[in-house]
A and B are shown apart, each in its own frame.
Chain A
Amino acid sequence: MNNKVLMKGNEALAEAAIQAGCRYFFGYPITPQTELAAYMAKKMPKVNGVYLQAESEIAAANMVLGAAGTGVRAMTSSSSPGISLKSEAISYMAGCDIPALIVNVQRGGPGLGGIQPSQADYWQATKATGHGDFQILVFAPATVQEMIDLVGLAFDKGDEYRIPAMILADGMLGQMMEPVTIPEHTTQHLVEKSWACCGHQNKRKHNVLNSLFLTPSELEKLIIERYKRYDIIKEKEQRWEEYRLDDADIVLVAYGASARVSHTAVDIAREKGYKVGLLRPVTLWPYPTKAFTTLKETARAFISVEMSMGQMVDDVRLAVECKKPVHFVGRTGGKIPTPMEVVDKIVEVGGMD
């Protein structure tokens, strides 16, 4: 008998954060991320941590800014409408170079939308989590085990580059259970945070965490410096997974829940004789453009499979430098595409010359 346990994605995210040394969680109730906050409420007091239910998503995210500003690992979690509210604090954290973890268990939008799984916050996560010139790290797990593994990584990389990080999940991953192994104390390589505001103890000049720079040249210089860091991240931190791509002439590109659907679709289509494989971005920012280096020459066509109206299609086009056609198949509004819907698209694209 194996020693794995079954865990819901939401609970796995929470436990992984605790194992990664996060002791400060600030949240607000919203479906479908509820179990994450509930797990934290139960667990944090037992590990001398803080669970605090804030008066709003806005306040929760700003509490994270304050806590993380003192140098500790802090996080918040929400679902799509809540992330819009948190975008204020995320922008300020990016502008102050404060690392923290934000979890988005996506649901359908816009507006109140629905509560069923969705990937319609791709643009928000990768292009504009808030106002201003900035990026955040975006990790897209596709299994419950990966939700655990990426939480530790998100904290580590956030600290390393002084940048907020997001786990972009969805209602399906949050709600489903899979067997997992929880590694203990995943993160021990904590970086020195000399910038933290936790009292100078009369030993150093005061630290200031601030995003206000009224002199344009000063602000510009700072942003350009930050973008140099982004370039390093783009160079070093692209992550992806490949499935049956070796001889593929049709490449599905999908992350998270739709990658799972695509995985099944690849197997079905292969049985029908189609040379198809799956490229699964694990980091959505930085986008894994390197994964396309060979494929854009060898493959015949790409299909972006999403639970949105095709928000990732442009990134695939850019990654293949428009050398090959990029098609789209997907559902939105809380609908999950079936493997057969994806197979039908493969057949359609496969029949094209």
Chain B
Amino acid sequence: MSKDFNMLFAGFGGQGVLFAGKISAYAGLYDNKNITWLPSYGPEMRGGTANCSVCISDNPIGSPCVVSPDVFIALNLPSFEKFKNSVVSGGTMILDSTMISEKCDRTDIHIFYIPASQLATENGLDGLANIILLGKMFKETNFCTQQSLETALENCISKRKQHLLLPNKKALQIGMDF
């Protein structure tokens, strides 16, 4: 992968946008990279749209605001509309096609439609569409080592919520296999 890798996660508040970003950031950290994680905050988080910028780089990171992402993960339609044209040419966009029925007309980027919410429900993993999409992102971009990603997932789930570790691992695998 390139020296700088900029990701943008966007969706409704509650879809786990910030959490998916946090796991990516930790994965970068465990690969000994420089990383930044920047959430949107405020009223937009209360039921509105939430997004989160993550930068992974070999060098010190300047602006942590991802304006032109290398990878864009879209979990809802408003976010898709808002950011679809910001992805760098040659970059990657991964959409939850259960939530977003539209297609993207760009031809200069790699686009993956994955029915993450539907897959989550089918597998008894409601609420883990974000992790399925994260697994897909890992498979398509190799933005980190698999070991770091798995360690990050383990460490980001708090002690009180350890019962959620297995479902999360399963979701990650579903994404990687899709």
Residues of A within 8 A of B (CB): 1-2, 4, 6, 31-32, 115-116, 171-172, 175-179, 260-265, 267, 336, 338-340
Given A32-B42, A115-B41, check contact A177 B62 (CB 8 Å). Answer: no
B25 touches A (CB below 8 Å): yes
Report how far A179 CA is from B37 CA in the complex, Å.
Answer: 10
Given A2-B32, A4-B29, check contact A177 B22 (CB 8 Å). Answer: yes
Report how far A2 CA is from B26 CA in the complex, Å.
Answer: 11
Report how far A265 CA is from B22 CA in the complex, Å.
Answer: 26
A244 nearest CB across to chain B (Å)? 12
B100 touches A (CB below 8 Å): no
Report how far A178 CA is from B28 CA in the complex, Å.
Answer: 11
Residues of B within 8 A of A (CB): 22, 25-26, 29-30, 32, 34-39, 41-43, 60-65, 67, 148, 151
B38 nearest CB across to chain A (Å)? 4
Across-interface contacts of A340 in B (CB, < 8 A): 67
Across-interface contacts of B39 in A (CB, < 8 A): 175-176
Report how far A262 CA is from B39 CA in the complex, Å.
Answer: 20
A306 nearest CB across to chain B (Å)? 14
Interface class of chain B by DSSP: mixed
Given A1-B30, A32-B42, A115-B41, check contact A178 B63 (CB 8 Å). Answer: no
Report how far A165 CA is from B65 CA in the complex, Å.
Answer: 29
Told that A1-B151, A175-B39, A178-B36 touch, could you supply 14 new A-B pairs with CB distance under 8 A?
A: A1-B30, A2-B29, A2-B30, A6-B25, A31-B42, A32-B41, A176-B39, A177-B25, A177-B36, A177-B37, A178-B37, A179-B34, A262-B62, A265-B62
B153 nearest CB across to chain A (Å)? 14
Most interface-central of A4, A175, A261, A340 (chain B CB within 10 A): A175
A179 touches B64 (CB 8 A): no
Residue of B whose beta carbon sits closest to that of A342: B63
A172 touches B65 (CB 8 A): yes
B35 touches A178 (CB 8 A): yes
A176 touches B37 (CB 8 A): yes
Across-interface contacts of B26 in A (CB, < 8 A): 6
Most interface-central of A6, A31, A116 (chain B CB within 10 A): A6
Sample 6 A-B pairs with CB under 8 A, ordered by A number: A6-B35, A6-B37, A31-B42, A116-B42, A177-B38, A339-B62
4 nearest A-B pairs in the assembled complex, by CB-CB distance: A264-B62, A263-B62, A177-B37, A176-B38
Across-interface contacts of B65 in A (CB, < 8 A): 172, 261, 336, 338
Across-interface contacts of B60 in A (CB, < 8 A): 263
Across-interface contacts of B25 in A (CB, < 8 A): 6, 177
Across-interface contacts of B38 in A (CB, < 8 A): 172, 175-177
B59 nearest CB across to chain A (Å)? 9
A305 nearest CB across to chain B (Å)? 11
CB < 8 Å neighbour of B63 from A171, A177, A338: A338
Report how far A177 CA is from B152 CA in the complex, Å.
Answer: 15
Report how far A1 CA is from B151 CA in the complex, Å.
Answer: 10
B36 touches A176 (CB 8 A): yes
Report how far A115 CA is from B44 CA in the complex, Å.
Answer: 11
Across-interface contacts of A265 in B (CB, < 8 A): 62
B41 touches A31 (CB 8 A): yes
Across-interface contacts of A116 in B (CB, < 8 A): 42
Report how far A152 CA is from B36 CA in the complex, Å.
Answer: 23
Report how far A32 CA is from B42 CA in the complex, Å.
Answer: 8
Across-interface contacts of B30 in A (CB, < 8 A): 1-2
Across-interface contacts of A4 in B (CB, < 8 A): 29
Report how far A26 CA is from B59 CA in the complex, Å.
Answer: 38
Residue of B whose beta carbon sits closest to that of A338: B67
A261 touches B36 (CB 8 A): no
Given A6-B22, A32-B42, check contact A261 B37 (CB 8 Å). Answer: no
B43 nearest CB across to chain A (Å)? 8
A115 touches B42 (CB 8 A): yes
A339 touches B63 (CB 8 A): yes
Most interface-central of B37, B43, B60 (chain A CB within 10 A): B37
Report how far A262 CA is from B36 CA in the complex, Å.
Answer: 16
Given A115-B41, A116-B42, A176-B37, check contact A267 B62 (CB 8 Å). Answer: yes
Report how far A213 CA is from B14 CA in the complex, Å.
Answer: 57
